[in-house]
Amino acid sequence: MNEEERLAQAVSRAQVLRKPKQALATFGVTNISYYILTRPAYAEEDAAETVVRMGRVIANRPRIVTPYYLSRLDGFSADARRYFQKLIETHGADAPGIYYTYRNEPEGTDIMSNGLDDVLAKINAEIDAKNDQLTAVIRGEDTLWDVSLMKFIFEMTSASLVNNLADFQSHGLLGIEGGVPVEARLNIEDMFLRLKEGKIEPHDLQKELERWGLFEAYQDRFLAVFRR
């Protein structure tokens, strides 16, 4: 079995056994705990062992962006940039869309001397006892466990998209002013405030302005922060 086939198999076998009861927040950070249950790669088929990986997925506040903005982000491959260019050609450089970013924070791994069903029942009981609304339990492949996590993130994002979009729409944040979404301009204002308070570095604001092609428009105001 080649790598592509192994990946496809891992995706098809990945299963979200328990979904969080809340969707991703539109106007804040969402902190999701997860348990990923796998059969140890070394174990026999009938072995009663389960690997439990624990961690958190931090979903940052969704942002309204455009194909133009995405094309200026760092860290994307040449193929991704070609895709962004296609979006610009098809929908225009200023078409608004929602951009989600995540951070995975693994917290530990346990090997339990019980089968997956028993471990799942115990974890579910613990979650219920805490009335935890933002915990997921996922079944995956041991050597490609992070693939199952990515599948969960994709499904969580898809399930949250309609509500997030409706929230942005109801607050009038999907409008475009001079090629820049209203929400993006509000975010820039917030970044100026946080810069004055010393909560972000000047480079962070500069990069955001450059990604929107707005540095010259805000340059005097940006430099005035340092003069004060």
Closest CA to 160 of 40, 51, 33, 60: 60
Which pLDDT score is estimated for 64?
95
User: Does the pLDDT value for residue 228 go beyond 80?
Assistant: no
Structural Rg of the chain based on CA atoms = 22
Q: What pairing do the DSSP bridges indicate for beta strands 63-65 and 15-18?
A: unpaired
**How would residue 46 be classed by pLDDT, with cut points 50, 70 and 90?**
low
- pTM score of the predicted model: 0.84
Average pLDDT over residues 125-138: 96
- Strands in 113-179 per DSSP E: 135-139, 176-177
Q: What percent of the chain has pLDDT over 90?
A: 73
Q: What is the pLDDT of residues 66-123, one digit of tens each?
A: 999 988 888 777 877 888 888 899 989 999 999 999 999 999 999 999 999 999 999 9
CA nearest 221: which of 199, 197, 193, 200?
A: 193
- Please name which of 52, 19, 61, 4 lies closest in space to residue 151, comparing C-alpha atoms: 19
Angle at 54 between CA 51 and CA 57, to 5 degrees: 140
Higher per-residue confidence, 177 vs 42: 177
